[in-house]
Structure 1
Amino acid sequence: MGERITLSELARRLGFNRSYIHKLKLHGVLQFDQAGLIDEDAARAAMEANKDLEKEYMAEVNQRQREQGASAREPPDEAAPSNNVSYARAKTMEKIFAAKIAQLDYKERCGELVDAHAVAKVVTDAASIIQMSLERVPDRLAERVAAESKAADCHALLTAEMDAVLAELTALCDRMAAQVKA
């Protein structure tokens, strides 16, 4: 049985942050006693048994990248072409982005592209006005339709009123479309 040590001492001896050791304690990987001590050998065994394989893989990948980076820092051969692909890619992406912004600006100036918030406001206003116009039709026609005895006369009254409401709504939509374009 190994020496019993504190969380801080375990972190120092294993080369980890105290927060990482505490995290392992919270997840039940490490079992501390009532006094807050743990057997060092048992802690090492528990950590080995619960090793994160993805971390090992990433450690290997990082090590390979460090080794490649070290060899890339050596002075390049004067005759060899530049291998700075990331700079060229960044410049290309910057130019593509600038072209897309210019295209959107052009479409907005030509009237092909409009503000979505303005359109949503106009559509909401139009829906409200349409609803109110249609709700007023029965109030305006109730007495006149009740006075008519012939179905043809009732039909003519209803048709005339609906045509008037639709003409009013068409004019409203034209005005609102002009608002959006402006």
Structure 2
Amino acid sequence: MSDFVSQAEFARQMGWAKSYVTKLKQEGRLCLSVDGKVDVEASKRLIIQTGGSDRPDVAERFANERGQQPADEVPEKLSEWGGPSKADSAAKKEHFAALQAEADYRVRIGELVEAKEVAAAVADVSISFRHALENLPARVAGELIGKDLDQIRSTLKQEIYAALSEMERSFAEKLTEIAPEVA
């Protein structure tokens, strides 16, 4: 027993544009009832049997790429048509909705942070650290004049330590901003 549906419903079930179903109708590739309803299973068989008549080589190549059966082996059931079933689609949709809900929950409890927030925090701290190192020669050059090698090393070491400490403080501050529960 076949199902009869409207052309719009047939297009929706198959994942096609309504205009494509209209084209199939105009080409005589749909099985229609007296009231214009589409016989789903019979139409699918007819579409497969009449597919690619202009360019059989192209139709065969596309069928192979989709993993479908050749036109002479007409599927008997909807699940053999080549696409996911409604149940498969619904399960996939529910699966991804559950993953999204889990991600939202993990963000709310502080286990997960948006990548763009982390990238922005790292960029801010990196820029500050770079500026501190670039300004180091201008800040300490005057202090180094007339000092021996050990004093120069000690001064540079103190300045580098101060820059690294500031970077560490900035990272802790940014971490507290984007993930207060972690800090």
Counterparts of 1:125 and 1:144, CA distance in 2: 29
Instruction: Work out whether 1:137 is the aligned partner of 2:141.
Output: no
Matched residue, 2:59: 55
1:24-72: CA deviation from partner (whole Å, max 9, x where unpaired): xxxxxxxxxxxxxxxxxxxxxxxx9x9533436869628824xx369xx
Q: How does 1:105-144 map to 2 (within 5 A)?
A: 105-144=104-143
Structure 1 residues 56 and 140: alpha-carbon distance in aligned structure 2, compared to 1, 3 A threshold: closer
1:112-141: CA deviation from partner (whole Å, max 9, x where unpaired): 221222222222222211110001111111
Counterparts of 1:64 and 1:98, CA distance in 2: 35
Matched residue, 2:150: 152
Residue aligned with 2:74, SS:
helix
Deviating beyond 3 angstroms after TM superposition, the runs of 4 or more aligned structure 1 residues are 56-60
When normalised by structure 2's length, the TM-score is: 0.53
Matched residue, 2:178: 180
Q: Which runs of 5 or more residues in structure 1 are unaligned?
A: 1-14, 17-47, 71-84
The one-letter amino acid of 1:170's match is E
Alpha-carbon offset, residue 153 of structure 1: 1.4
Q: Which runs of 5 or more residues in structure 2 are unaligned?
A: 1-25, 28-52, 64-68, 79-83
Counterparts of 1:157 and 1:54, CA distance in 2: 75
Matched residue, 2:167: 169
More helix by percentage = 1
The one-letter amino acid of 2:114's match is D
RMSD: 3.3
Structure 1 residues 51 and 61: alpha-carbon distance in aligned structure 2, compared to 1, 3 A threshold: closer
Structure 1 residues 119 and 64: alpha-carbon distance in aligned structure 2, compared to 1, 3 A threshold: same
Structure 1 residues 62 and 134: alpha-carbon distance in aligned structure 2, compared to 1, 3 A threshold: farther
Counterparts of 1:164 and 1:51, CA distance in 2: 74
Alpha-carbon offset, residue 110 of structure 1: 2.1
The one-letter amino acid of 2:71's match is V
Structure 1 residues 92 and 51: alpha-carbon distance in aligned structure 2, compared to 1, 3 A threshold: closer
Matched residue, 1:88: 87
Q: Quick one: percent identity of the two aligned structures?
A: 24
The one-letter amino acid of 1:173's match is F
